[in-house]
Amino acid sequence: MTPLNPSSAASAAPSATPYGTLPPTFTPSVRKPLSLLRLREMHTQGEKITMLTAYDATFAAVADAAGVECILVGDSLGMVCQGLTSTVGVTLETMRHHTECVANGLRRSHGVSWLISDLPFGSYHESKELALRNAVVLMQAGAHMVKLEGGGWTTDTVHFLVERGIPVCAHLGLTPQTVHALGGYRVQGKTEVAAAALRREALDLQDAGAALLVLEMVPADLAGAITQELARCPTIGIGAGKDTSGQVLVLHDMLGMNLGKMPKFVRNFMEDAHSVRGAMEAYVHAVKDGSFPVNATHAW
């Protein structure tokens, strides 16, 4: 047998890349890989679930290393990465691209986080079949779960996707893709009628098989009541108070990278941290021990 040429052996071995911080060698994680079963276990045991958005490989790998359980490739990338003024202009191809970047980052760093990717505006509205085709694009790019916004008409679509083996995260309250119909980024579910509709929609989405439910900008009491009512579907709050099953923030917001007015529900975790990873670890810690969010400061 011809001995291996040392130079070709060296080129086949993993080597450091000149840019970025992703590890070149195998670094097995000591954490349990996240899965639907693990999320359910956490829910049953009352352990808070942490979620952050990420849109690229490095931030995803760092969030994973910091112990963030769920990484959301949110269509907030329209604002954060593309400079748009809403998520309405984000396309499926853009979501696919960023999902693949995040999945590559997690794969290279042997990450264990659960990767959720947003189905963008218009990609699930026309029919259940179109929703399935587009969800498949995101799953094949590396997502473990897709997220879609709204209740009522989306319930059948959620059921259709779940029946076909696609885990779904639903999203109620302020649904940014419909910002123009809602009349702006405002708190939802404030009246008795609106609150009752949200509660009904949340139960229907759970029955349709949604495995997570994001509640965005809804009064803390209402989010707490919905969380109590949903025995099988953990809720993830953003501007929804402390009594949800977990929390999510947009990465750039919690790192204080906001030149405009910071939304009320955000805490700048970079303020007391020495590194991005440190800020993420502080976020995980604060969500887990219930010190973030504080209802009086971050909620309605």
Stretch that binds ligand KIV, among 42-50, 67-75, 93-101, 202-210 (CB under 6 A): 67-75
Nearer to ligand KIV, 88 or 197 (CB): 88
Instruction: Round to whole Å and give the CA distance between 145 and 139.
Output: 7
**In the complex, least distance from residue 35 CB atom to ligand KIV, rounded to whole angstroms:** 21
Which of 62, 67, 71, 74 is close enough to bind ligand KIV by CB under 6 A?
74
Q: Report, in Å, the least distance between residue 75 CB and ligand KIV.
A: 5
The residues, ordered by sequence, that sit 6+ positions from 280 with a Cβ below 8 Å of its Cβ are 52, 62, 63, 66, 67, 68, 254, 269
Query: For ligand KIV, which is the closer residue by CB, 69 or 216?
Result: 216
- The minimum distance between CB 122 and ligand KIV, in angstroms, equals 15
Q: Is 214 in the site for ligand KIV (CB under 6 A)?
A: yes
Number of residues that bind ligand KIV (CB under 6 A): 11
Instruction: Tell me the per-residue interface mask from 93 to 132 with ligand KIV, x by CB under 6 A, - otherwise.
Output: -------------------------x--------------
Per CB under 6 A, 174 contacts ligand KIV: no
The nearer residue to ligand KIV, 72 or 284, going by C-beta atoms, is 72
- Single residue of 143, 233, 248, 279 touching ligand KIV by CB under 6 A: 248
When asked if residue 175 is in the footprint of ligand KIV (CB under 6 A), the reply is: no
Other C-beta atoms lying within 10 Å of the C-beta of residue 159 = 18
Nearest residue (CB) to ligand KIV, 143 versus 238: 238
Per the annotation, the verdict on 216 as an active-site residue is yes
- Contact between 53 and ligand KIV by CB under 6 A: the answer reads yes
Does 250 interact with ligand KIV (rule: CB under 6 A)? Answer: yes
Q: How far is the CB of 55 from ligand KIV (least distance, A)?
A: 9
Residue numbers at the binding site for ligand KIV (CB under 6 A): 53, 72, 74-76, 118, 214, 216, 238, 248, 250
